[in-house]
Structure 1
Amino acid sequence: MKVMRRVGSVVGLLAPALAALFPASFRAGKRPEGWGAGGRTAGCLLAWAFLLGLSLAQEVRTSLTPEEVEALLKSGSYRYERVEDQGQVYFRLRLGGLRAALYLLDCQEGRCESLQLYAGFSMEKPPTLERINAWNREHRFSRAYLDADGDPALEADLDLAGGVAEGAVLNFLDLFEESLGAFAAWIGFE
């Protein structure tokens, strides 16, 4: 899973630094000689401060251009195709073997303040509205509905206007990929 790969790579980079800060006996749950009762707390606070500093180092975005979205897709190793239709740019994606689209919305002067992921499913026997409503009751971070033709669709939105780090955009894509696979199974799509 992409999120776990990112977390694993960050932990891999931090491991030597954290090992230098905390002796092996401390990492094993033993207090090193000369450390008082507050040693563990102080060490944990120091580690959290270090990790917080790394997370704050990410650039916060309140809007994205199509080029910036494309760069994020590349950095996350997503399969995509850039499409320009009547002056609008969107991306066709392959997420977990399923097709989806990433739309850039609320755009002004080439910068867009929100993103929307969409996947539609054409089915001979679509799920009932009750099944779709059950998805919405039981799952977070996406919404499902039956479109005008009665076919199921899944969507998710990300508002950038308040500011998000690039990692949040990549997490948005990863989370939708997970939801998409679960939704396809939920509706019996093959």
Structure 2
Amino acid sequence: MRRLALAAALALSLSPLTAGAASAQTARATASRGLTPAEVGTWITGLGGRVGPVQTENGLTFFTVTNAGLTWAVFFYGCEAGVCGEVQFSAVVPGAGATLDKVNAWNRDNRYLKAFHTAAETPTATVQYDVVVLSGEGVAQLADPLAVWLQLLPKFAGEMGYVAP
């Protein structure tokens, strides 16, 4: 009987803690995690990029950006109700200089941006940078990843033999 009373008292004393934890989990679950394509586009425009309209093709939501002679895209993943938890910067670099050996060398020698080669009549190299978006941090959390992207993208394009028109 004593053990049962002790267990009941312990359960009652912990119930406010577990109730609080449960409501905190509910609050976290209902809070939106991520960013909208529109707010990311507005932010990049404010930084001087020429941003195209938000598009959805084959289930992928994205927009293009033209900056410093290069055009690249921002893709959005993990979207719920228009708010996306993951962003990917991506660029396709065309040209005869984009070889499998050059792409492999890039992946071996550089961090952050991953690349792959597509053999075709005009071979291409695609480079990507994935970013997980944190809830409540706003669009400013993309400042450092965008700085890395903007620093390494021209380097990648140059190593693939791309010359801006």
Q: TM-score, normalised by structure 1?
A: 0.60
Q: Which residue of 2 aligns with 1:113?
A: 85
User: What RMSD over aligned residues (CA atoms) do the two structures have, in Å?
Assistant: 2.3
Q: Structure 2 matches for 1:1-190, cutoff 5 A?
A: 62-86=33-57, 89-123=61-95, 125-147=96-118, 149=120, 150-161=123-134, 164=137, 166-190=139-163
What secondary structure sits across from 1:93 in the alignment?
strand
Offset of residue 72 of structure 1: 1.7
Deviations 1:78-107 (CA, angstroms, capped at 9, x unpaired)? 221123235754211113210100111111
Counterpart Cα distance in 1 of 2:141 and 2:125: 27
Q: Distance in 1 between matches of 2:130 and 2:41?
A: 17
The separation in 2 between residues aligned to 1:129 and 1:163, in whole angstroms, is 40
TM-score normalised over the length of structure 2: 0.68
Unpaired runs of 5+ residues, structure 1, are 1-60
The AA in structure 2 aligned to 1:115 is: V
- Point out the structure with max Rg over C-alpha: 2
**Residue type of the partner of 1:103?**
F
| Superposed displacement of residue 167, structure 1 | 3.0
Gaps of 5+ in 2: 1-31
Counterpart-to-counterpart distance in 2, 1:82 and 1:97: 19
Question: Equivalents in 1 of 2:60, 2:126: separation in Å?
Answer: 22
* Percent of residue pairs bearing the same amino acid type: 26
TM superposition shift of 1:128: 2.6
